[in-house]
Amino acid sequence: MRICYNIRMDNDITKHHKYIEKQITALSAQQKPDRKDVETLAQYHDMMTKNFQHERLIHLLVTLFFAVVTVISLAISAVFYYILLSNNNWAQDWILGLPAWFLSLILVTMEIFYVRFYYRLENRTQKLYKLTRQIYELMQ
């Protein structure tokens, strides 16, 4: 379900970007755009940008949380590996350390996908700021 939500978030930003570009083009085509129309567009765009920024903040916190958990898991795995090297009973220690290694592998994989998604979300949100400047230039 989370993957579908993330794809939907990307689609929402893309749809909003295209909609605002279309509105800016329509307003720019007018000789003197109606100030009320431009202000309404600016308010809508600011509200949506704030929503996307909030979403970006939540994903940053989730990404950082998983990064911390991943580092802790890797540290535990390293401790098990150190015990394995220093102990003569390596078969028993290997079996005890195996869940920590699997957990580390899973968390590293999840972190890679979280960082990838956050990167895309950050870049798409940054593109919205250019549209904000264009809208406020229409008000001049």
* 57-93 pLDDT tens trace: 998 999 999 999 999 999 988 887 777 767 666 666 6
* 28-43 pLDDT tens trace: 888 888 889 999 999 9
Question: Is 11's pLDDT higher than 90?
Answer: no
**What pLDDT score was predicted for residue 39?**
92
**What pLDDT score was predicted for residue 1?**
43
CA dist., res. 103 & res. 97, Å (int): 10
Give domain limits for the chain: 2-138
Residue 4 CB burial class (10 angstroms; 0-12, 13-18, ≥19): exposed
Q: Of 134, 115, 111, which is closest to residue 123 (Cα–Cα)?
A: 115
**What pLDDT score was predicted for residue 88?**
67
**What pLDDT score was predicted for residue 129?**
93
